[in-house]
Structure formats: structure tokens, C-alpha cells
Amino acid sequence: MAEVNTADNVSLVEKRVEVNNTTEKSVRPKSSKVWEHFTLKPSKKTVSCKMCSVDLAWHGSTTSLQEHLKRKHVGAIMDEGNSRKTQPNITDFVQRKVCTPQQAAALTDGILNVGN
């Protein structure tokens, strides 16, 4: 993967994809907020932290970059705990209202009368 800068100065990740025995470039934007704090080195295997200039290995994932920011630069990235969806628990599932009581009665009657 290679970093590409567009005319709008938007950083993109370039990836070579093989389709029908030909190699094509697939370019997509870097969507993670951690890229605001790191620069991809020309070797494409390391990144440099803009805050402390430390070089970190990069294997195509931003997990280690995010962990670096959490551990070394507390507060650099807002905690995404509130914005992430959490797995619903059983209480959320049971208390979820899917339909009105009238709709539930109509469905129950329909199920009971199947085949009549």
C-alpha cells in the first residue's frame, strides 16, 4: 500500500488489486482519525508519530497506532467508547418494541388461523 496525496491534500491509501490476471490500483480515503497524528513513511512499512516522532511498524491496520495514542498521548483522540455501538444485552432485546399491541394481535391471529 502506498500513500497518495490528491490536489485537495486528502490522504489516500493506494492498494494494488488483481482482477482477471491484471493488476489494477484501488484507491480509498484513510477514514481513521489516527491518520491526523501519523505520517506513512516512504518505505510503506513504518509510520511516524507527528507528536513524538517515534517510528512504529505498520501492517495495514490502525490498531497499533490508536493504542500508541491512547498510551503515550492521552487525550489526543477522543475516547470512541461513546460513539461505538455496543452489543445489546438480553434485557435490551426483550424490552425492544417491534410492533404495537394491535399489530401483535393481528399477527397472532394470522398465525393461529394458518391453514383454516
Question: What pLDDT is recorded for position 78?
Answer: 63
* Helix, strand, coil distribution of the chain in percent, nearest 5: 30, 25, 45
Dist. CA 67–CA 73, nearest whole Å: 10
Asked if residue 18 has pLDDT above 80, the reply is: no
95, amino acid identity: Q
Dist. CA 7–CA 14, nearest whole Å: 15
Asked if residue 103 has pLDDT above 80, the reply is: yes
Question: What pLDDT is recorded for position 48?
Answer: 93
Asked if residue 27 has pLDDT above 60, the reply is: no
Under the banding of pLDDT at 50, 70 and 90, the label for residue 83 is low
Question: What pLDDT is recorded for position 77?
Answer: 75
Q: What is the pTM of this model?
A: 0.46
pLDDT in tens, 7-16: 444 444 555 5
